[in-house]
Chain A
Amino acid sequence: MTAVEPDTAKPEGFVDNDEKPVGYGRMLRKEDPRFVRGLGKYCDDVELPGMLHLAILRSPFAHAKINGIDASAAQAHPKVKAVITGADLAEQGLAWMPTLSNDVQAVLATDKVRFQGQEVAFVVAEDRYSARDALELIEVDYEAIDPVIDVRKALDPDMPVIRDDLEDKTDNHCFDWETGDEEATNAVFDKADVVVSEDIVYPRVHPAPMETCGCVADVERVDGKLTLWSTTQAPHAHRTVYALVAGLPEHKIRVIAPDIGGGFGNKVPIYPGYVCAIVASLVIGKPVKWMEDRTENLVSTGFARDYIMRGEIAATKDGKILGIRTNVLADHGAFNGTAAPVKYPAGFFGVFTGSYDIEAAHCKMTAVYTNKAPGGMAYACSFRITEAVYLVERIVDCLAYELDMDPAELRLKNFIQPDQFPYESKTGWVYDSGDYEPTMRKAMDMAGYEELRREQAEKRERGELMGIGISFFTEAVGAGPRKDMDILGLGMADGCELRIHPTGKAVVRLSVKTQGQGHETTFAQIVAEEIGIPPADIDVVHGDTDNTPFGLGTYGSRSTPVSGAAAALVARKVRDKAQIIASGMLEVSVADLEWDKGSFHVKGDPSQSVTIADIAMKAHGAGDLPEGIEGGLEAQICYNPDNLTYPFGAYICVVDIDPGTAEVKVRRFIAVDDCGTQINPMIIEGQVHGGLADGVGMALMEMIAFDEDGNCLGGSLMDYLIPTAMEVPDWETGHTVTPSPHHPIGAKGIGESATVGSPPAIVNAVVDALKPYNVRHADMPLTPSRVWEAMQGTLQPPI
């Protein structure tokens, strides 16, 4: 046998990212050894003795009255343990549950179904196959009702009322929302040299995480304690909601979020399936597993976007932007399941003024119910900032088109200036920090912007279609200050607990939960930076309500801004105590000690020093401690952020379009992000890469469409396309660092920046390429067919 020699030579340009910093810096992710070996433990890997399987019967109709359900044949199936309908749940008062937006949603439909894929009944059986087979045996007597599918007609007086479960409901109106100053905005529009208007649609898309949603519910028969292994981004918030919905005492509920295969917001809401599994385990007294299949995930769980926006921008003729206003029609589906802070029904859409210093802004929004799946945020959108950034970055490009001005120049001319921070926007958002021009210039330098424009001019001469698209975005992430922000009355703070073991190793417990973001590494590095223990020696515990402090979870890029601050501050609290103990050990006053990342030494005499491990042993050991100091070396805090953090970035996309087939090729993508202090640049790059790929998907191919009967046309990944490695270029990433002034380590969120910032860059590039065809705007998804129609001047909005 010939031994194969491992190839140890490092390729040219190789960057060793396996440095092991004590603190910030590149290091391989601590969680990856289990993932790359296929040894992650997901919900579907949970196997318990006697565990049963739950399958959900879903409505084939978008809108239909339920006249009756005959479950007798299913109940007679030899492997079926229970069949439960909405009527059964109604008897227990469990047929309806609150959504995260203070609406209600049916757990199982009782009166009628309101979207295709809605939960109607469930079967619990000995195995998944039998549960699924038995669904075929349930007879539901549906009486079809005309569905409300066209969002533009939802408020027409002759439309059927979807939400007749709500008292005195006579139309499909969901809510109205307004922000900014209408009068002031109209005034600047009246005086402007140029006003540009465009109808801009952000179609319904789906987060489509690789792992679908599901859970295992196990109600212990003796003490009645529920353990729920669940695909949740917010285990603590879910536990409280279960306590409120099901009336279970909160201390008798333990929610465990094991490894999660992607969330993107899809795993923030509580879905009927979780409640069904809990009910089933309560009723039957055995553990019950429910895992969605792919179709169920795509047709019934939290969608994203679905905004029809009228964007208007007013400017002087030399390109000074004066005002932006917008009218939005928002499709919220059958139930308002938006997961956003309560006072923000449109999420943080109010930041639609973008990165520009303008005189006035106004937004008016109407949200409606339609016979489509509920949801209303999700997909890495930072609470609707995706829609806001798309609107402003598209309409700014429309203005550049009308002024015949370079879109980079137009942006540079209108940026909020560094000395204006903290900057209060015309819609009341206080941008904490920013220095936009260097970031923009860096992206332009990396792209070789001038050269690209020259190349484009040459190609246009030859009839070739090349486009350069820019977007400059500002995000608002890290919800949020408890004075303004709560979800169902729960403040959006996060706890953190740090314990140093006697031997100097540590465990840090978080309230947030990774779905792939790398918390086990990032949080170990944050603590390492503060306390001087190597990340490898710090165990990060998360995703288990019995073993972590309370907090609202991971979404809206909030982990580092909120929980990351908590981790830094709890470490400082422990370090302060360690310093007191060290002063006793070295017999000097606290003020005479100097911190040296991992040890304290006497000022002026570095030989007189004790390490954190020495201190930890002392804290747990024999002998006296300084007066008033308890034994042990641990602390817990709850962090309430002062403000959101405002990361930003400049993205430049280069596309080529085949003039004959209208196929778009993303040739280059340059992304310069500023998320303040960087903890692990490799993880940041990974987050950016993923978000950019999401952006390619949304811009070019993704859309959850419906036919006129309300049939979802995106029920599989053959129909709902997500991009592959073949559709994305080699990303070119860069960064600038503008620390957040109010965050303890100056960090800002990064998880969603690329998803927010990339779609407008790509669409702007495609539209720029089509300039020879006089195209000023084209709605996503820019499939070859839609690009060709734009070239013919026949393109219609996608909805």
Chain B
Amino acid sequence: MQVPAPFEYERATSVDHAIALMDRLGSEARLVAGGHSLLPMMKLRLANFEYLIDINDLHDELGFIRVTDDEVRIGAMTRHRELLESDELAAVFPIFRDAEKVIADPVVRNRGTLGGSLCQADPSEDLSAVCTTLNASCVIRSGDGERIVGMEEFHVGPYETAVADGQMLTEIRIPVRAGGSSAYEKVERRAGDWAVVSSGAAIWMDGANIADARVGLAAVGPNTTGIPGIAEALAGQPPSDELFAQAGAIAAASANPSTDMRGSAEYKTHLANELTQRALRRAAARAQEA
């Protein structure tokens, strides 16, 4: 049994309570939500925090999926399993269900949260790629109030986000546009493993032509980032394998992976291309079906 270093622990009863605790305890405090990244790091003593503020009691306040005509809002404490099982969410953004099916395993999905995944900011993390694909905004609250940042601003670097000490990600907001659909493709060495590479794609159709398209990649560089060149290449064109091959090439060119146990940089670059094409094809087919 791996055991963490000593720490103090308190359960927050509200978002305001959690923020007040963080303000008081400073940089040695961390929020714990699902705990599936933080606790293993603490048990390995790669992370040693003096205080843990448990926000699982905030699930009532921050565990929600609200779908309206022009926006989807998802609370930061929404668990993977809730994202996986929400038919309402899958109807608007099928990419969530695609991704959740291949995130970790049922035990982790029962506890892990959207907010925890985004704030962990692992470059291989899937929901970050999903949110990037969907152009999500992140609502960050502090004692001074709320601010809203886009995913590119949210991700500062590997394991680093725009959420500073005393601040908390409370929800994400995703714009809903007509004629769109989305999809997610992932290659992993084994069920439950981190992505070797994954690719999310969203496409919005205007009649027979693509009005807009976005792609988000995971595990091909320090951050998950959108690839503006793909939107430019696809806008105004009818979907075709040739067009998506172009997009795949752009994705590969923008990837900057490194060689590790999960695969060689060359293979990951190839996957960025291949998976981008697959995700775009699937997203387009879904958009056209709808």
Which residues of A come within 8 Å of B, CB atoms? Answer: 44, 128-129, 132-133, 136, 291, 293-295, 660-663, 700-701, 705, 713, 716, 718-719, 721, 723-724, 726-727, 783-785, 788-789, 792, 794
How near does chain B come to A261, taking the closest CB pair, in angstroms? 13
Additional 18 contacts, C-beta under 8 A, given A663-B187, A726-B192, A792-B266: A128-B1, A128-B3, A136-B5, A136-B45, A661-B271, A700-B189, A700-B190, A713-B261, A716-B44, A719-B261, A721-B189, A726-B190, A727-B190, A783-B262, A784-B263, A785-B262, A785-B267, A788-B267
How near does chain B come to A720, taking the closest CB pair, in angstroms? 9
The chain A residue sitting closest to B45, CB to CB, is A136
Contact B2–A721 (Cβ < 8 Å): no
A784 and B190 in contact (CB under 8 A), knowing A128-B3, A133-B6? Answer: no
Contact B267–A132 (Cβ < 8 Å): no
Contact A721–B193 (Cβ < 8 Å): yes
The chain A residue sitting closest to B270, CB to CB, is A788
Alpha-carbon separation in the docked complex, A129 to B1 (Å): 10
Contact B191–A294 (Cβ < 8 Å): no
Contact B1–A293 (Cβ < 8 Å): yes
| Chain B contact residues, majority secondary structure | loop
Question: Which of A132, A661, A724, A726 is packed against the most chain B CB atoms within 10 Å?
Answer: A661
Alpha-carbon separation in the docked complex, A368 to B105 (Å): 41
How near does chain B come to A80, taking the closest CB pair, in angstroms? 14
CB neighbours of A718 from chain B (8 A): 193-194
* B62 interface hit (Cβ, 8 Å): no
Alpha-carbon separation in the docked complex, A723 to B264 (Å): 21
CB neighbours of A295 from chain B (8 A): 2, 44
Contact A785–B196 (Cβ < 8 Å): yes
Contact B196–A784 (Cβ < 8 Å): yes
Contact B267–A129 (Cβ < 8 Å): no
How near does chain A come to B89, taking the closest CB pair, in angstroms? 24
How near does chain B come to A766, taking the closest CB pair, in angstroms? 14
Interface bits B212-248 vs A (CB < 8 Å: 1, else 0): 0000000000000000000000000000000000000
**Interchain Cβ contacts under 8 Å between A and B, 22 examples:** A129-B3, A129-B6, A133-B6, A136-B5, A295-B44, A661-B187, A661-B275, A662-B267, A663-B187, A700-B189, A718-B194, A721-B190, A724-B105, A724-B192, A726-B191, A727-B190, A783-B262, A784-B189, A784-B196, A785-B262, A789-B266, A792-B266
How near does chain B come to A549, taking the closest CB pair, in angstroms? 35
* B278 interface hit (Cβ, 8 Å): yes
Mark out the residues of chain B between 246 and 272 whose CB falls within 8 Å of any chain A CB in the assembled complex: 261-264, 266-268, 270-271
Contact B190–A789 (Cβ < 8 Å): no
CB neighbours of A128 from chain B (8 A): 1, 3
CB neighbours of B261 from chain A (8 A): 705, 713, 719
Contact A293–B2 (Cβ < 8 Å): yes
The chain B residue sitting closest to A723, CB to CB, is B190
Contact B2–A789 (Cβ < 8 Å): no
CB neighbours of B171 from chain A (8 A): none
* B126 interface hit (Cβ, 8 Å): no
Question: Which of A663, A719, A784 is packed against the most chain B CB atoms within 10 Å?
Answer: A784
Alpha-carbon separation in the docked complex, A129 to B3 (Å): 6
Mark out the residues of chain B between 1 and 24 whose CB falls within 8 Å of any chain A CB in the assembled complex: 1-3, 5-6
Contact B189–A701 (Cβ < 8 Å): yes
Contact A294–B2 (Cβ < 8 Å): yes
The chain A residue sitting closest to B273, CB to CB, is A660
How near does chain A come to B21, taking the closest CB pair, in angstroms? 24
Contact B1–A291 (Cβ < 8 Å): yes
Chain B contact-residue range equals 20 to 34
CB neighbours of A784 from chain B (8 A): 187, 189, 196, 263, 267
Nearest 8 A/B pairs, CB to CB: A785-B263, A726-B191, A785-B267, A293-B2, A660-B274, A721-B190, A788-B267, A129-B3
Alpha-carbon separation in the docked complex, A794 to B259 (Å): 14
The chain B residue sitting closest to A796, CB to CB, is B264
How near does chain B come to A715, taking the closest CB pair, in angstroms? 9
Alpha-carbon separation in the docked complex, A726 to B1 (Å): 26
Interface bits B83-102 vs A (CB < 8 Å: 1, else 0): 00000000000000000000
CB neighbours of B105 from chain A (8 A): 724
Alpha-carbon separation in the docked complex, A792 to B263 (Å): 14
Alpha-carbon separation in the docked complex, A662 to B189 (Å): 11
Contact B263–A660 (Cβ < 8 Å): no
Alpha-carbon separation in the docked complex, A129 to B43 (Å): 11
Alpha-carbon separation in the docked complex, A129 to B6 (Å): 8
Contact B5–A783 (Cβ < 8 Å): no
How near does chain A come to B185, taking the closest CB pair, in angstroms? 9
A783 and B263 in contact (CB under 8 A), knowing A701-B189, A724-B191? Answer: yes
Alpha-carbon separation in the docked complex, A723 to B261 (Å): 16
Alpha-carbon separation in the docked complex, A540 to B268 (Å): 54
The chain B residue sitting closest to A663, CB to CB, is B187
Alpha-carbon separation in the docked complex, A792 to B275 (Å): 18
Q: Which of A661, A713, A789 is the one whose CB lies under 8 Å from B264? A: A789
How near does chain B come to A622, taking the closest CB pair, in angstroms? 57
How near does chain A come to B191, taking the closest CB pair, in angstroms? 4
Alpha-carbon separation in the docked complex, A701 to B193 (Å): 11
Alpha-carbon separation in the docked complex, A287 to B32 (Å): 36
How near does chain B come to A712, taking the closest CB pair, in angstroms? 11
Contact B1–A783 (Cβ < 8 Å): no
CB neighbours of A291 from chain B (8 A): 1
Alpha-carbon separation in the docked complex, A700 to B191 (Å): 13
CB neighbours of A783 from chain B (8 A): 189, 262-263
The chain B residue sitting closest to A785, CB to CB, is B263
How near does chain B come to A291, taking the closest CB pair, in angstroms? 7
CB neighbours of A705 from chain B (8 A): 261
CB neighbours of A44 from chain B (8 A): 1
Alpha-carbon separation in the docked complex, A293 to B2 (Å): 5
Alpha-carbon separation in the docked complex, A723 to B189 (Å): 10
Alpha-carbon separation in the docked complex, A293 to B45 (Å): 13
How near does chain B come to A343, taking the closest CB pair, in angstroms? 38
CB neighbours of A792 from chain B (8 A): 266
How near does chain A come to B248, taking the closest CB pair, in angstroms? 10
The chain B residue sitting closest to A44, CB to CB, is B1
Alpha-carbon separation in the docked complex, A785 to B194 (Å): 14
The chain B residue sitting closest to A294, CB to CB, is B2
Contact A661–B274 (Cβ < 8 Å): yes
How near does chain B come to A135, taking the closest CB pair, in angstroms? 9
The chain A residue sitting closest to B274, CB to CB, is A660
CB neighbours of A788 from chain B (8 A): 267, 270
Contact A660–B278 (Cβ < 8 Å): yes
